[in-house]
Structure 1
């Protein structure tokens, strides 16, 4: 189902609707971002998801962010004990390029803003 709002958005943003969910989720197009970052010799962004099993919010986040996710960290593994101590009550937690981005629920708007910021920096650099 397409809405007027969807049709008026930038071609670099595609709107997705998930059945049974009341929120609208967006997927940022990595094609333009990759082209700009490749041209500027800047590394592609890395989205890290700090998770554990079981975690229903993490499962939902994985589904929503599948196009973005590059790395997953299971905080229950012994080698990740520092992350466990830091985030044991806050998962899922997301970092973008090693910096804290968000926790608990996916905020697509925030992610898109950060990706667009990286894209602009890549185009300027």
Structure 2
């Protein structure tokens, strides 16, 4: 699920905010993996909110992971889903 650094600037882009030992995060990863081939995402990025350097995301989402951000284009607003991320949730978020 790790894209190349070049792909991180590409759109549409999906970002999963997660942490280790998070059962809901494992479910979210599986849901994204199930839907991603049909979604034609340019980038799927995973952010461990507990990793050094991710304090901003930890402060924002410490009690809310998993969180998924979807941005269809560079100038488009980010839409998000939190907590129970099913394949249907990902499909709805991506508009497919």
Band of TM-score, shorter chain = 0.5 to 0.7
Uncovered stretches (5+) of structure 2, i.e. residues with no partner: 1-9, 37-42, 72-76
CA distance, structure 1, for counterparts of residue 57 and residue 79 of structure 2:
12
1:86 corresponding residue in structure 2: 60
- Where does structure 1 lack aligned partners over 5 or more consecutive residues? 1-42, 117-125
Q: Matches of residues 4-23 of structure 1 in structure 2 within 5 Å?
A: none
Q: Which has the higher contact order (CA 8 A, sep 6+)?
A: 2
Q: Give the aligned length.
A: 72
- Do the aligned partners of residues 112 and 99 (structure 1) sit closer, same or farther apart at CA in structure 2, a change above 3 Å counting? closer
d(CA) in 2 for partners of 1:109 and 1:83? 24
Query: Does 1:103 find its partner at 2:65?
Result: no
Q: Which structure: larger Rg?
A: 1
After superposing on structure 2, the runs of 4+ consecutive aligned residues of structure 1 that deviate more than 2 Å are none
Match of 1:44?
11
